Structure 1
């Protein structure tokens, strides 16, 4: 092979070696977590560099340190620590080791970011959504031809493992593990539009909805539209569930269309838990677990709005449907009316 150090070598091998030798080296600032390619950031933090910059600007007024004494953490460092925990769900000392920080520093930083994010809950989680009600209805109608839907509703369990004291039995769910039972609604774009994350795992889905502010607002007639849910809920005039024993024909078509429509809430749960693995098991008190769930829901909506890349979704086992609740006559009448009008 000719020498690769000649100005213009003729030999192909020498040309390849010369190009490799002339490749300019890139030195990244390891103190700046945003100075890495998006593939690196997505894998560790679930956001691109632009998305993380947006979060830094959003949270800076609430989490910035007033001094640089004792090498105080910068806002990008604090955001990265919290996102690293949300994305991995691992132990705090592991997050600290990866960021070259102590466990106590990591704990305080995550707490600070969670509380800051909660201040934006009414800005990023709104019902029926950020789009107009008509746009949401049209979006759901395009899925399976189901009319007037402005949201899909369901509950999912978030496992918690910590000392629960005298209230431990309240958090044991139907699968015999400790959890929070978290109620969410979503729109046709898998945006979370309402959240109730304070209930123990033993509480029935229908009770959570019955005592929620969302149910009260529907009963007051503040929304022009319907929710769709599974048989864990009672069929009401504003919340439709499938026929328990459908007859062939219109009733069966109604159930199929409703099932396809409410798949959006299952997709939302899948994306949320794949994006933030901490929601598979939290090692904190129920109160703090509820706050972390809310923070992750806000981050999910921010990521959805900004079109951030979705992580690969693992196959989630569906939560068991709680014992069937008896339907309300008014709800059954609305269900029959829609069946006759749209699925006959």
Structure 2
């Protein structure tokens, strides 16, 4: 059971060949098409042309995001990371491992988003009881950062206290002792809401993600990956974000504080002293 996908490029740019043989869409108004399929008619055709010849696996090439990309005034941020639970029916194998801390069965999905709420990295392969820090520790993106992240110029990821503070992944001060650390924490929290908002938009766009998916975990992981790709396409194609009066209750991750060995504190102190004095 594995779905570890990195979205730097959503698909090669093909010569536009708009095939209009979508007779099923002719039975609906424009609003009904978007409500039913989450995309406009034109963008449905565009997506169909992307996958018409073959279904390509998402690339794992690691084209670096621009270091100048910033969120909420926090310097050098290239992404925000968090986990979210996708509810599933009780599986027949290893059932207890899928019960999360809230008491229901799920897949714990790790994602990183950029400032446009695109999901630049998604890991969907771990049972709901798995801690966020373990998912990150075992992920390909962590291995990549360990090897390739050398200086602050390579950019920073922001995460909550469920992660270890590292030179490439900065967390909050648990007990801020100065005004500068308070300012750092406030900006960190404000910036990190981008991933919470990305999860909210993603789940509202594809309601299957915040209902109970009644399939085997392996199939659920593939559905999560497909929804992530379609979400990124919707962002690129400027599809409107769906409004949901009821909201999504499972957005903010209240993971337990990470208590293991930490590093990256010197990087955090440098950021605090340099930008939040």
* Shared fold, TM over 0.5: yes
1:261–1:120 CA distance, 2 compared to 1 (3 A): same
1:306 to partner: Cα distance = 0.5
What secondary structure does 1:176 align onto?
coil
Task: Deviation per CA, 1:1-26: give whole Å up to 9, x if none.
Answer: xxxxxxxxxxxxxxxxxxxxxxxxxx
TM-fit CA distance, 1:315: 2.3
Partner deviation per Cα, 1:3-59 (whole Å, 9 max, x = no partner): xxxxxxxxxxxxxxxxxxxxxxxxxx9943156432121111110011111122122
Alignment of structure 1 residues 1-344 onto 2, 5 Å? 31-34=23-26, 36-62=28-54, 116=55, 119-122=56-59, 132-134=65-67, 137-140=68-71, 143=72, 145-162=73-90, 164-222=91-149, 224-280=154-210, 281-313=212-244, 314-317=246-249, 318-326=251-259, 328-344=261-277
| Alignment partners' CA distance in 2, 1:266 and 1:127 | 24
1:308 CA drift (Å): 0.8
Structure number with greater CO (CA < 8 Å, separation at least 6) is 2
Partner SS, residue 61 of structure 1: coil
Q: Per the alignment, in what secondary structure is the counterpart of residue 148 of structure 2?
A: coil
For residue 84 of structure 2, give the secondary structure of its aligned residue in structure 1.
strand
Rate the CA distance shift 1:148–1:191 in 2: closer, same or farther, 3 A.
same
Give, in angstroms, the shift of residue 319 of structure 1. Answer: 4.4
Q: Which residue of 2 aligns with 1:92?
A: none
After TM superposition, the score normalised by the length of structure 1 is 0.68
**Gap change, CA 1:43 and 1:282, over 3 Å in 2:** same
**Contact 2:164/2:263 (8 A) holds in 1:** no
Find the counterpart in structure 2 of residue 95 from structure 1.
none
Structure exhibiting the larger radius of gyration computed from Cα positions: 1
Q: Is the 8 A contact 1:158 1:182 kept in 2?
A: yes
Structure 2: how far apart are the matches of 1:272 and 1:188?
A: 14
Is the alpha carbon distance of 1:127 and 1:229 closer, same or farther for their aligned partners in structure 2, counting shifts above 3 Å? farther
Unaligned runs of 5+ in 2: 1-20
The alpha carbon displacement at 1:246 in A equals: 1.4
Kept in 2, the 8 Å contact 1:229–1:240? The answer is: yes
2: CA distance between counterparts of 1:166 and 1:120? 28
Paired with 2:62 and 2:100, the residues of 1 have a C-alpha distance of 28
Unaligned runs of 5+ residues in structure 1 are 1-28, 63-115
User: 1:251, CA displacement in angstroms?
Assistant: 0.6
C-alpha change, 1:196 and 1:329, in structure 2 (3 Å) is closer
Q: Secondary structure at the match of 1:236?
A: coil
1:205-251 CA-to-partner distances (Å, cap 9, x unmatched) read 00000010000011002471111001111111111011111135111
Asked if the contact 2:149/2:168 (under 8 Å) is kept, the reply is no
8 Å contact kept, 1:234–1:324:
no
